[in-house]
């Protein structure tokens, strides 16, 4: 035995330690935080703290959340960022930045700047007086300052660099703004012109957060918007089928987002922007609900399921079991749908960050 055996023993220990630390980091420690930008698809309650009607911090919202809490998530329970955070071995829900119940210690492992009703376009946020995307970025800058003050530059910069950023936004630009109000339609008479305007805004947004240190980003484009119960409700001539024009528009816009993703990854060194497209999986769920364990795909669980959301959702007129419904209200998926979509996105697009 003697010197050589000892050295071999140390070597074996070293390999073992190395192996176990690298395997533990691949089971969740590589991403220290989930940081969220976007609209109601990912808002965990920021709108509770601003004067807007675009809210959901009351019953029946949140009835399947921990303790049945209506948090301001537009869901009966958790939403996609919560499931993604949990799957990355972080916490079970991502708190809203404006919620005074949380502080920078909490936000160090996850924070949400999203605001229901917002869009890429400033004018979209003005419709319901919610937080415009530029202001989400201002809050993110403020967060960075607080994080550096709390943890020191080195640790804070590591979190900012290694965090997984989730961006989900754009539906409201079309449905709440372009196709509802005349202003942008006058300015951009052809919808493709408006699409290009939004793509330009998206590009500026990504360059800005890249400049601020964000690297790992998941971008979710538009869902099949024509299949949202609210849009089906008015599609009377086609027997409440999905509105194909809106679905085609979503496909077209997502295609442009895809090109933008390729371009930015080429232009910006170290940028890892992932085109985490949820269109196909959502369409599959809507077209074949029973394959995923659902019974109803054309209307939401709350009220008649055709037009209610927010204040119009009455707890007295809400379905009993939201997990049978693809949609919780006329515009937003049920918790179960969010879970299925999140699992799909993690497996298909986000696993490489783990």
Tell me which residues are annotated as active site.
40, 329, 332
Q: Which residue has the tokens 């006058």?
A: 186
CB 350 within 8 A of CB 84: yes
Rounded CA separation 273/131 (Å): 24
Q: Are strands 272-275 and 164-168 parallel, antiparallel or unpaired?
A: unpaired
Would you say 201 or 319 has its CB closer to ligand NAG? 201
| Max CA distance (Å), the chain | 88
Q: What is the contact mask toward ligand NAG in residues 153 to 192, using x (rule: CB under 6 A)?
A: ----------------------------------------
Among 22, 23, 67, 105, binds ligand NAG (CB under 6 A): 105
Among 25, 122, 180, 248, binds ligand NAG (CB under 6 A): 122
Alpha helices in 212-334 (DSSP H): 229-233, 244-267, 279-287
Smallest gap from residue 193 Cβ to ligand NAG (A):
14
Nearest to 201 by CA among 238, 253, 242: 253
CB atoms within 10 A of CB 30: 15
Would you say 12 or 212 has its CB closer to ligand NAG? 212
Residue 104 tokens, joined: 């920078």
The verdict on 199 binding ligand NAG (CB under 6 A) reads no
Residue 57 tokens, joined: 């911090």
Would you say 158 or 245 has its CB closer to ligand NAG? 158
Residue 56 tokens, joined: 């959901």
The verdict on 207 binding ligand NAG (CB under 6 A) reads no
Among 6, 19, 134, 317, binds ligand NAG (CB under 6 A): 134
Q: What is the contact mask toward ligand NAG in residues 28 to 67, using x (rule: CB under 6 A)?
A: ----------------------------------------
Would you say 24 or 122 has its CB closer to ligand NAG? 122
Smallest gap from residue 236 Cβ to ligand NAG (A):
36
Would you say 50 or 104 has its CB closer to ligand NAG? 104
Rounded CA separation 293/305 (Å): 19
E-strand stretches of the chain: 34-38, 110-112, 164-168, 216-220, 272-275, 296-300, 325-327
CB atoms within 10 A of CB 315: 12
The verdict on 103 binding ligand NAG (CB under 6 A) reads yes
The verdict on 91 binding ligand NAG (CB under 6 A) reads no
Smallest gap from residue 104 Cβ to ligand NAG (A):
5
Would you say 106 or 245 has its CB closer to ligand NAG? 106
- Residues in contact with ligand NAG by CB under 6 A are 103-105, 122, 134, 150, 201
């Amino acid at each position: 035995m003697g010197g050589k055996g000892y050295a071999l023993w140390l070597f074996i220990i070293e390999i073992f330690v190395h192996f176990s630390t690298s395997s533990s980091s691949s089971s969740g420690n590589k991403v220290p935080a989930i940081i969220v930008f976007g609209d109601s698809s990912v808002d965990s309650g920021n709108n509770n703290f601003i004067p807007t009607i675009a809210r959901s911090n009351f019953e029946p919202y949140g009835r399947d959340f921990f303790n049945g809490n209506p948090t301001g998530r537009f869901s009966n329970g958790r939403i996609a960022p919560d499931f993604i955070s949990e799957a990355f071995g972080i916490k079970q829900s991502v708190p809203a930045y404006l919620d005074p119940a949380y502080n920078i210690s909490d936000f160090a492992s996850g924070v949400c700047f999203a605001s229901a009703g917002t869009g890429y376009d400033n004018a979209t946020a003005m419709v319901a007086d919610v937080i415009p995307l530029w202001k989400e970025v201002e809050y993110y800058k403020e967060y960075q300052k607080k994080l550096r003050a709390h943890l020191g530059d080195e640790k804070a910069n590591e979190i900012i660099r290694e965090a997984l950023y989730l961006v989900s936004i754009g539906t409201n630009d079309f449905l709440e703004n372009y196709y509802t109000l005349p202003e942008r339609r006058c300015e951009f008479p052809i919808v493709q012109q408006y699409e290009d305007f939004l793509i330009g805004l998206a590009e500026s947004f990504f360059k800005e957060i890249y400049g601020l240190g964000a690297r790992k980003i998941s971008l979710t484009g538009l869902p099949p918007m024509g299949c949202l119960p609210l849009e089906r409700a008015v599609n009377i001539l086609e027997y409440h089928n999905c509105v194909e024009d809106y679905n085609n528009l979503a496909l077209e816009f997502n295609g442009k987002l895809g090109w933008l993703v390729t371009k930015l990854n080429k232009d910006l060194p170290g940028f890892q922007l992932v085109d985490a497209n949820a269109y196909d999986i959502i369409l599959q769920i809507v077209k074949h609900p029973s394959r995923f364990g659902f019974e109803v795909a054309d209307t939401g669980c709350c009220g008649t399921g055709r037009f209610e959301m927010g204040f119009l959702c009455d707890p007295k007129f809400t379905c009993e079991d939201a997990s049978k419904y693809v949609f919780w209200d006329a515009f937003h998926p049920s918790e179960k749908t969010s879970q299925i979509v999140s699992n799909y996105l993690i497996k298909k697009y986000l696993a490489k960050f783990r």
